[in-house]
Amino acid sequence: MNIGIVGYQGDVSEHVELLEKLDRQYKREINVVLVKSVKSLSTVSGLIIPGGESTTMYRLIKEFGLFDAIRQRGLEGMPIMGTCAGLIIISNDDPNERVRSLGLLNVQVRRNAYGRQAESFFEEIDIDGIGKFNAVFIRAPQIEKWNNVTVLAKYDGMPVMVKDGNIIGLTFHPELTEDPRIHEMFLDNIRRGRDVSTGDIDWPLYDYV
C-alpha cells in the first residue's frame, strides 16, 4: 500500500524510518510517498501529517494546492494521522490567525502548551488497544476542547491521542521512538477500512524490538 507523508518540513524522515522498519522487519508491503503535490496525494491510501512548525506547514500546503485536496480526501474517508503540528493542521480552527486548520477532527488545541523545546519530556502513557507507550512531547499542543471523538490516551487528565473514524490526532511524537505500534494501528485502519479504536478488534500486537 502507498502511505503518504506530507514532505515539506518537520519530522518527515523519522516517520519514513518507522514505516520502512515495519515494511522491512514485519513485511507490511508499504511504499512510502513524500506528498508535495495534489498528484502525489492522489496515489496514496493514507496520509501522515508530521510534527514540525505548523505555520510553515500550513503556508506550504496552501501554496502547493494541498489544503483543499487533503480536506476532501479526509472527508471522503481516507485515513489521516496528524502528530503534534499535524494535529494542529487537522483540528478545528486554531485561534492563531496564521493557521487555518482543516477541521477534520473536532478538537480545539493550544500550541506549545507544555512549554518550549528546552522543556521537552518523555512520559509513559496508556493507549487503548496498544498499552503502555513512551510518548515524546516536544513543544506539544494541548487538546483543550473536544467533542464526538474517541479519546485513546490521556496525560495529566487531558487527551493526548484521539480518533474520529478515519482521522487520528496525537499531541506527541511517536516517530521519535523506535516503537512502531501506533503506525501499525494507523496501517490497520487503512487495511480494514473501519474503526480500530475499540478493544474488541483483534489487530496484531507484534513483539516489536
Active site residues: 84, 173, 175
Contact 6, 50 (CB under 8 A): yes
| Residue 46 phi, psi dihedral angles, 5° rounding | -155, 160
Dihedral sign (CA 147, 153, 156, 160): negative
Q: Which residue stretches of the chain are H helix? A: 12-26, 38-41, 54-63, 66-75, 85-90, 181-192
Instruction: Please tell me the distance from the alpha carbon of residue 149 to that of residue 76, in angstroms, as a whole number.
Output: 18
Instruction: Please tell me the distance from the alpha carbon of residue 58 to that of residue 182, in angstroms, as a whole number.
Output: 24
Contact 175, 14 (CB under 8 A): yes
